[in-house]
């Protein structure tokens, strides 16, 4: 009898505890929370649509607090709060130990996964390299070359009336091109027969699995037991590392041979070579280990490949979904082509839709008119890409650790040990940031008298802001504009009927089912 009474008392205490907890939450805007598990239940239920789940809350309140079992996440969408975190009190919001532990297996101690002096040194080195005219010219050549390879595949598909997955093709194009720029090697995934590639498959698997770690409290146990997703991750990382270290060893040997034979003109211009060469110039104490080289270059490959491919995929989807935008873009590209041909004093070649050779020659001629400077004149193209990034940012949310207790500009208190996450996906959809047409795709919002106008990086956060603002921003725009200019000048895209377009939950905002389209040529 006493046991039964004790059980009843415990049940009443627990029920009261839960009721009191829920009563205290009644006037708060945010997900439902429960003792011990916090908001984990609602977050797991909404995991596959988490970005839109946050939009719903952040449209009602500029800040949302989401308690989880071992961590409290504070999500922000107000530019003033974002500026405080990314710039004003930058030192208090590092990547943090938690983020580093989740991502270390893939990113190592590369620039996107470290803080403090290690980050500053890499940032200084990378800033110097990204400002290099040699790297810019080399990148321009590479991006043009792979855009033409993609165009050749699309041209063939159009002649055969065959549907293609644009996201897969963009992933192949950006992997090939970023490996060429980063490592100086040909990966070959964009070959006409679209071969299977172990490195690319491992790359994708690793990206998805490390993202799952943020909501999987069992990942450390799975890693210890080497089971499930963590077992797949271990195999994927081995494939990535085997490829990366083999390239590093080969490149060091090539540089040593070129130096020995006094053939400096044979030394390549890719990032890996530049990082190795910096160590040679500054002396033995500055030489980077193979692990450091692996982390530095792989961070840029990861950042430059998926981000660019996903943005191009969403851009093509937005263009084909808005015929008026497609027509304005096509008109700008036609005017540009005619103006550049006049400047170069060349006659435009004939373009016959039914003659594949004629079509390819005209396309190649147009591509030859594109370079770093001339692409800068395509303001509407730049606006289309920027508007795409506003609504579909490649990195939809970016968490930061909290070193010490702090108060955000709106008065919200955040505690040390928690995480503050600014949410570009939500920020682009907030009327308090962009006005009543915030959810509309409208490239014209970026133009004034036909000329592109930037917005505050604390409102348009697709490339982050403050000291960590993206070093590869110009390079990303260069590749995206090169590809989209060629594609939208010579092809029209139509979504395959009933093909679902929705994002997949991972670090980047990729499409869950790809982007299946039919392609039609135009001159």
Q: What is the pLDDT of residues 476-519, one digit of tens each?
A: 999 999 999 999 999 999 999 999 999 988 778 999 999 999 99
- Taking the C-alpha atoms of residue 192 and residue 195, their distance in angstroms, rounded to an integer, is 8
Rounded to an integer, the average pLDDT of 167-173 is 95
pLDDT over 70 for what percent of the chain?
Answer: 89
Q: Is there a domain that residue 170 lies in?
A: no
Residue pair 509/394 in contact (Cβ under 8 Å)? The answer is: yes
**Is 470 known to sit in a ligand binding site?**
yes
Q: Classify strands 447-448 and 451-452 as parallel, antiparallel or unpaired.
A: antiparallel
Residue 8's domain comprises 1-30
Residue 499 or 18, more confident:
499
Q: Classify strands 413-414 and 63-67 as parallel, antiparallel or unpaired.
A: unpaired
Q: Is there a domain that residue 262 lies in?
A: no
Residue pair 73/66 in contact (Cβ under 8 Å)? The answer is: yes
**pLDDT surpassing 80 at residue 47:** no
| Of 373, 305, 389, 358, the residue nearest 521 (C-alpha) | 358
Q: How confident is the model at residue 6 (pLDDT cuts 50, 70, 90)?
A: low
The per-residue pLDDT for 10 is 54
Q: Is there a domain that residue 25 lies in?
A: yes
Residue 307 or 208, more confident:
307
Query: Which of these ranges, 135-139, 154-158, 423-427, 451-455, has the smallest mean pLDDT?
Result: 135-139
Residue pair 457/463 in contact (Cβ under 8 Å)? The answer is: yes
Residue 482 corresponds to which tokens in the numbers above? 């090169």
The per-residue pLDDT for 187 is 87
Q: How confident is the model at residue 127 (pLDDT cuts 50, 70, 90)?
A: confident
- Taking the C-alpha atoms of residue 494 and residue 367, their distance in angstroms, rounded to an integer, is 23
- Taking the C-alpha atoms of residue 238 and residue 229, their distance in angstroms, rounded to an integer, is 14
Task: Classify each residue of 18-42 as buried b or exposed e, where b means 16 or more C-beta atoms within 10 Å of its C-beta.
Answer: eeeeeeeeeeeebbebeeeebbbeb
Burial (CB count <10 Å: 0-12, 13-18, 19+), residue 91: exposed
Q: Is there a domain that residue 374 lies in?
A: no
Nearest-10 Cα torsion for 285, 289, 294, 299 = -30
User: CA dist 484 to 68, 431, 481, Å?
Assistant: 41, 29, 5
Q: Is there a domain that residue 235 lies in?
A: no
Longest dimension (CA), the chain: 101
Nearest-10 Cα torsion for 442, 446, 452, 456 = -150
Residue pair 30/60 in contact (Cβ under 8 Å)? The answer is: no
The per-residue pLDDT for 27 is 45
Rounded to an integer, the average pLDDT of 70-89 is 93
What is the three-class DSSP state of 46? coil
Rounded to an integer, the average pLDDT of 172-177 is 94
Rounded to an integer, the average pLDDT of 125-136 is 84
Full-model pTM: 0.87
The per-residue pLDDT for 26 is 46
- Taking the C-alpha atoms of residue 306 and residue 200, their distance in angstroms, rounded to an integer, is 11
Rounded to an integer, the average pLDDT of 428-447 is 97
The per-residue pLDDT for 211 is 80
> What would the pLDDT profile of 378-420 be if each residue is shown by its tens digit?
999 999 999 999 999 999 999 999 999 999 999 999 999 898 9
Burial (CB count <10 Å: 0-12, 13-18, 19+), residue 177: buried
Residue pair 427/63 in contact (Cβ under 8 Å)? The answer is: no
Q: Is there a domain that residue 267 lies in?
A: no
Query: Which of these ranges, 211-225, 335-349, 361-375, 433-447, has the smallest mean pLDDT?
Result: 211-225
Helices (H), 28-95: 40-45, 50-58, 79-83
Residue pair 240/298 in contact (Cβ under 8 Å)? The answer is: yes
> What would the pLDDT profile of 209-237 be if each residue is shown by its tens digit?
888 887 788 999 999 999 999 999 999 99
Domain count, the chain: 1
Query: Which of these ranges, 210-219, 258-267, 367-376, 506-515, has the smallest mean pLDDT?
Result: 258-267
* Beta strand residue intervals within 36-122, DSSP E: 63-67, 72-76
Residue 377 corresponds to which tokens in the numbers above? 């004149």
Q: How confident is the model at residue 288 (pLDDT cuts 50, 70, 90)?
A: confident
**pLDDT surpassing 90 at residue 65:** no
**pLDDT surpassing 60 at residue 16:** no
Nearest-10 Cα torsion for 464, 470, 473, 476 = -100
Q: Classify strands 72-76 and 419-422 as parallel, antiparallel or unpaired.
A: parallel
Q: How confident is the model at residue 28 (pLDDT cuts 50, 70, 90)?
A: low
Q: Is there a domain that residue 16 lies in?
A: yes
Q: How confident is the model at residue 347 (pLDDT cuts 50, 70, 90)?
A: very high
Q: Residue for token digits 């839109």?
A: 52
Q: Is there a domain that residue 238 lies in?
A: no
Rounded to an integer, the average pLDDT of 153-176 is 95
Residue pair 175/306 in contact (Cβ under 8 Å)? The answer is: no
């Amino acid at each position: 009898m006493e046991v039964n009474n004790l059980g009843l008392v415990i049940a009443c205490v627990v029920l009261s505890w839960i009721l009191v907890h829920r009563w205290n939450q009644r006037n708060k805007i945010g997900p439902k929370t429960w003792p011990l598990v916090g908001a984990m239940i609602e977050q797991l239920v909404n995991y596959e649509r988490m970005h839109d789940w946050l939009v719903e809350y952040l449209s009602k309140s500029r800040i949302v607090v989401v308690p989880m079992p071992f961590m409290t996440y504070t999500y922000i969408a107000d530019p003033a709060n974002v500026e405080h975190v990314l710039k004003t009190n930058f030192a208090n919001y590092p990547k943090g130990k938690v983020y580093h532990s989740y991502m270390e297996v893939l990113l190592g101690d590369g620039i996107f996964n470290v803080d403090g002096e290690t980050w500053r040194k890499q940032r200084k080195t990378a800033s110097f390299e990204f400002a290099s005219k040699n790297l810019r010219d080399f990148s321009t050549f590479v991006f043009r070359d792979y855009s033409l390879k993609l165009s050749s595949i699309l041209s063939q598909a159009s002649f055969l009336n065959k549907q293609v997955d644009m996201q897969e093709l963009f992933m192949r194009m950006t992997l090939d091109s970023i490996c060429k720029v980063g490592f100086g090697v040909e990966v070959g995934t964009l070959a006409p027969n679209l071969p299977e590639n172990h490195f690319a498959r491992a790359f994708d698997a690793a990206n998805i699995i490390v993202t799952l770690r943020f909501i999987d409290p069992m990942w450390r146990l799975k890693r210890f037991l080497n089971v499930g997703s963590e077992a797949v991750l271990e195999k994927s990382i081995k494939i990535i590392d085997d490829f990366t270290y083999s390239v590093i060893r080969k490149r060091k040997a090539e540089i040593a041979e070129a130096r020995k034979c006094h053939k400096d003109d044979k030394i390549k211009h890719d990032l890996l070579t530049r990082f190795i060469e910096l160590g040679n110039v500054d002396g033995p104490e500055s030489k980077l280990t193979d692990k450091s080289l692996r982390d530095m270059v792989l961070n840029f490959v990861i950042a430059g490949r998926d981000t660019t491919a996903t943005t191009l995929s969403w851009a093509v989807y937005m263009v084909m979904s808005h015929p008026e935008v497609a027509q304005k873009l096509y008109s700008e590209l036609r005017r540009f082509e005619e103006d550049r041909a006049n400047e170069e004093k060349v006659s435009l070649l004939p373009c016959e839709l039914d003659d594949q050779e004629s079509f390819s020659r005209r396309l190649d001629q147009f591509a030859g008119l594109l370079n770093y400077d001339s692409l800068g004149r395509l303001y509407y193209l730049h606006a289309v890409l920027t508007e795409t990034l506003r609504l579909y940012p490649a990195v939809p949310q970016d968490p930061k650790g909290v070193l010490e207790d702090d108060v955000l500009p709106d008065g919200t208190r955040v505690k040390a040990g928690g995480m503050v996450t600014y949410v570009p996906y939500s920020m682009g959809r907030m009327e308090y940031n962009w006005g009543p047409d915030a959810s509309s795709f409208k490239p014209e919002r970026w133009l004034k008298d036909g000329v592109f106008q930037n917005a505050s990086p604390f409102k348009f956060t697709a490339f982050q802001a403050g000291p960590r603002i993206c070093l590869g921003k110009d390079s990303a725009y260069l590749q995206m504009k090169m590809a989209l200019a060629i594609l939208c000048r010579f092809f029209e895209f139509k979504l395959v009927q009933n093909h679902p377009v929705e994002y997949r939950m991972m670090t980047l905002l990729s499409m869950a089912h790809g982007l299946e389209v039919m392609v039609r040529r135009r001159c």
